[in-house]
Amino acid sequence: MSFKILKFSSLIIILAIGALAAALFINFSYTKAQTANFELGGWIWTDGYGWISLNSKDCDLLNQQTPGTCTTFSIAYAVSTTGSNVSGYGWSENVGWICFGGTCAGHGTVPGGGSPSAGISVGKMTGWAQVYSLGDDGWINLAAGADISTPLGQVFPACYDCEQHCDEYQVHGSPTTPCIQRSTTTFDICHACFSQTKFDGDNIPNPIIDSVPGGSGSISYNCGTSLTPCNLVTGLIGSRIQCPANKCSNSGTKNYQVYRGADGTIVGWGWNGNSAPSSTIGAGWIEFNPAYGGGYIVLPWLQTLQGSIYTSGGVYLEAIPRTGAANATFCIYTRDISRTVSSANCSQTVTGVSIAFPTSTQQVYRNALGKIDVKGLITTTTGSYDKYGYLVSSIAPWSAIQLNNRVFYINGDLSISSTPITFNNGTVSNKGNGIIIVKGNLYINKNLYYQDATGVTDLSKLASVAWVVLGDVIIDPSVTSTVGAFIVLGNATSNCATSTGGTAMYPQYQQNGCGVFFSGASSNPLTVYGLIMAKAFDFRRTYANLSQGAERIIYDGRLSVNPPPGLQSFSEGLPVIRDTGL
């Protein structure tokens, strides 16, 4: 998931969003470990029982009243994944509790015998759920039929979890370089495809003649190639991705199944009842359809508040922000965008924006937002003062810092390790702003905070820090809060090297000082109060919540209302702030 940056002016930003930039970057990686523990959310539908809620937070946390009716009792429940296992509870207003997997132990006999279990492996959900109140008549099968080694020779008209074809690479004709433009109509591979579109509503399907709205019939996997791609088609049933006949791998075909996509979306069908229509007892088909409410796995996602995302290539994220949330408060300025990315208050994509990453001429970094004269800020000309009249200092003490309109310069790596740091507001004689320039990597191993701004009436006293890093920013996994405007320029290495842990669409990066912001691999959320500009982002937090991103960037306005030394020109490229919220 890499992205670069296109053309804009400050006027366009002011008119388009009326707010501030929360994140600004060139290449972006957002990779998440898929072995962590995640909750499911959303709703599933049955003709017999109506809606089944998979997570109480859909009602309690987000006050979400659709598509089902929210329960009034205050009992927290959720279906969840632990590694490859699925367990927990859902709730139906009509039939009560629905258990999944091992949670059903001791509540009857699974059809065919054995212990109840449910799991997800390479996207395929298998096993059992159960409606408690129906006892042995309440078992829900999440997959039916043994894998068929040779898929059915037919077109698959409803495909999900599809990888977009790359129309343009960073280096023309070189697929080993990052993709900067992906197709919205052509797909190299679809990881789950359904062969039909309507079941008869009563029986376990005959895969040749039966199917369901939203796609089912037989389900096959890994369909299409770059030579015989899948394509977006429009017809009476709306727009669907369709894969050609005989272009699915021999990884197995089932009569029906529930499938989990890479973005957390769950699609497909389970079955509760008997095979003969005259003796059917139960709900019949259990439909997982994201088109009307769920379900889904709540995966980690990126969130920017009070700001926008700017890129010059593509924004590719694994997880979809769920109901009541969005990746950005305002606009997403980009050349190419994933269907999983959303904005709360702006057209989802604004094209024609050009912000080159700051390029250096003798360490004067320039782009459309302005310039940062790093060399001029750190070179003293009169005593301890630079040519702009700013005092150039080292940093001490770390426990509580008053910036006082100074330049702090570290010639080498800087590690914040001993204690959390609070940047204090100014006093009667001191200002609250300052810039810290690190000629190396910045290691943040403790939380960073701003002093409470209550009572600050003179904005020049408001604590406001900027970090200019000529290397990488590396956040320790234990850190949950950090503050400042992070401008990660790197060490002049032209290309940020990727590691073997990522994929072409979602790369991971090496810590070689080229200008990457690393959030650290952790189940803790990370909140950045400020903004970030970097050559690449490597975000690996696995915290998953319906209403909060794993990495959350909150633009607090300080860079504009009290810009640190040397950033006045840079901050003028941002919109005028009218309410800091302080």
pLDDT tens digits, residue range 436-481?
999 999 999 999 999 999 989 999 999 999 999 999 999 999 999 9
Domain-embedded: residue 19: yes
Q: How far apart are CA 565 and CA 548, in angstroms?
A: 33
3-state secondary structure of 89: strand
* Torsion on CA atoms 352, 300, 81, 218, rounded to nearest 10: 0
For β-strands 473-475 and 442-444, DSSP reports them as parallel
| 329 plus 424 within the same structural domain | yes
| 129 plus 188 within the same structural domain | no
* Torsion on CA atoms 542, 544, 547, 549, rounded to nearest 10: 10
Q: How far apart are CA 9 and CA 352, in angstroms?
A: 10
| CB environment 303-314: b (16+ within 10 A), e (fewer) | bbbbbbbbbbbb
User: In which residue ranges of the chain is pLDDT below 50?
Assistant: 1-27, 29, 33-34, 62-63, 65, 198-215, 275-279, 575-582
Last residue of one domain, picked from the residues 254, 289, 307: 254
Residue appearing with tokens 């940047």: 423
Q: Which domain holds residue 541?
A: 10-32+299-571
3-state secondary structure of 118: strand
Handedness of CA 181, 186, 188, 191 (dihedral sign): positive
| 66 plus 134 within the same structural domain | yes
Domain-embedded: residue 3: no
| 249 plus 153 within the same structural domain | yes
For residue 397, say if its preceding peptide bond is cis, omega within 30 degrees of 0.
yes
Q: Assess contact for 22 and 353: CB atoms under 8 A.
A: no
Domain-embedded: residue 580: no
| 432 plus 504 within the same structural domain | yes
For β-strands 473-475 and 516-518, DSSP reports them as parallel
| Closest by Cα among 53, 27, 15, 164 to 514 | 27
| 304 plus 430 within the same structural domain | yes
What are phi and psi for residue 377, nearest 5 degrees? -75, -30
| 327 plus 425 within the same structural domain | yes
Q: How far apart are CA 482 and CA 427, in angstroms?
A: 23
Last residue of one domain, picked from the residues 200, 223, 254: 254
The HSE-up count of residue 66 (CA atoms within 13 Å, CB side) is: 5
All residues at 6 or more sequence positions from 24 whose CB lies less than 8 Å from its CB, including other chains? 5, 310, 355, 369, 531, 532, 533
150's tokens: 């040779």
All residues at 6 or more sequence positions from 91 whose CB lies less than 8 Å from its CB, including other chains? 52, 53, 56, 71, 77, 97, 98
Q: How far apart are CA 28 and CA 276, in angstroms?
A: 53
All residues at 6 or more sequence positions from 52 whose CB lies less than 8 Å from its CB, including other chains? 43, 44, 45, 46, 68, 90, 91, 92, 98, 286
Domain-embedded: residue 118: yes
Residue 174, judged by CB atoms within 10 A of its CB (0-12, 13-18, 19+), counts as: exposed
Report CA-CA distances (Å) from 223 to 153, 193, 228: 12, 7, 9
Sequence letter at residue 157: P
| 284 plus 322 within the same structural domain | no
| 395 plus 457 within the same structural domain | yes
Residue 170, judged by CB atoms within 10 A of its CB (0-12, 13-18, 19+), counts as: middle
Q: How far apart are CA 305 and CA 515, in angstroms?
A: 23
| CB environment 367-402: b (16+ within 10 A), e (fewer) | bebbbbbbbbbbeeeeeeebeeebbbeebeeeeebb
| 379 plus 279 within the same structural domain | no
The HSE-up count of residue 419 (CA atoms within 13 Å, CB side) is: 9
All residues at 6 or more sequence positions from 337 whose CB lies less than 8 Å from its CB, including other chains? 314, 315, 348, 349
What are phi and psi for residue 249, nearest 5 degrees? -75, 165
Residue appearing with tokens 């959900």: 125
For β-strands 314-315 and 336-337, DSSP reports them as parallel
| 350 plus 439 within the same structural domain | yes
Domain-embedded: residue 415: yes
For β-strands 284-288 and 266-272, DSSP reports them as antiparallel
- Residue 6: per-residue pLDDT: 22
313's tokens: 């290539």
Q: How far apart are CA 18 and CA 1, in angstroms?
A: 28
Question: Which residues make beta-bridge pairs with 50?
Answer: 46
What are phi and psi for residue 250, nearest 5 degrees? -85, 45
H helix or E strand, kind and range, residue 14: helix 10-17
Q: How far apart are CA 359 and CA 366, in angstroms?
A: 6
Q: How far apart are CA 395 and CA 389, in angstroms?
A: 18
The HSE-up count of residue 290 (CA atoms within 13 Å, CB side) is: 23
Domain-embedded: residue 58: yes
In this structure, the chain runs to a length of 582
Domain-embedded: residue 577: no
Under DSSP, the state recorded for 9 is: -
Question: How far is the first Cα of the chain from the last one, in angstroms, to the nearest whole number?
Answer: 35
Q: How far apart are CA 233 and CA 147, in angstroms?
A: 28
Q: How far apart are CA 323 and CA 53, in angstroms?
A: 14
Structural domains counted in the chain: 3
Last residue of one domain, picked from the residues 254, 287, 310: 254
Domain-embedded: residue 18: yes
| 119 plus 223 within the same structural domain | no
- Residue 411: per-residue pLDDT: 94
